[in-house]
Amino acid sequence: MKWLEMDTENCPVRRSLDLVGEKWSLLIVRDAFNGVRRYEEFRRHLGLSEAVLADRLRKLVAAGILRAEPYREPGTRTRSEYRLTAKGRDLWPVLLALKQWGDVHAGDPEGPALEIRHADCGAPVRVVVVCEGDEHATLSPFDVSVRPGPAARPLVT
């Protein structure tokens, strides 16, 4: 079965974009990686409307990407802090790859707005695609073959 003969309803890229493909959702996840936890912090930092923020947080929690943890400061009502789940933390290389692409193709002429370095040695961090074989070779799109997997379905016309 060739790509154009496959139904893409169950494509993992499509399903991922259904969960996090909207700009604000990924920016909320980015901020959560950088320590933002509270609704008002997200709203202030991202500058989006309360309605949009509430909707995106609700969807990210429902998708299991964030979890809401209740907290209460004296004299106030109970509110939620938002924390990345394991599923949310698995988005880290995706965000790093987007940052890396953006630095090259959409970056500021002065350089990156954010540097990400290895905590132990201080070297820059870079996302690459590697082979899981013994050599762990770095790969380009020209080095791989794509074939239907077990969940591939033929396109019904």
Could you give the CA distance from residue 48 to residue 113 in angstroms, rounded to a whole number? Answer: 21
pLDDT of residue 21: 93
17: Cβ contacts below 8 Å, ≥ 6 apart:
none
pLDDT of residue 96: 97
- Helices and strands: H and E segment counts in the chain: 6, 2
Low-confidence ranges of the chain (pLDDT < 50): none
Provide the CATH number for the domain formed by 3-143 in this structure.
1.10.10.10
- Token pair listed for 26: 């990924």
pLDDT of residue 9: 87
State the burial class of residue 39 (Cβ atoms within 10 Å of its Cβ: 0-12, 13-18, 19+). middle
SS3 142: helix
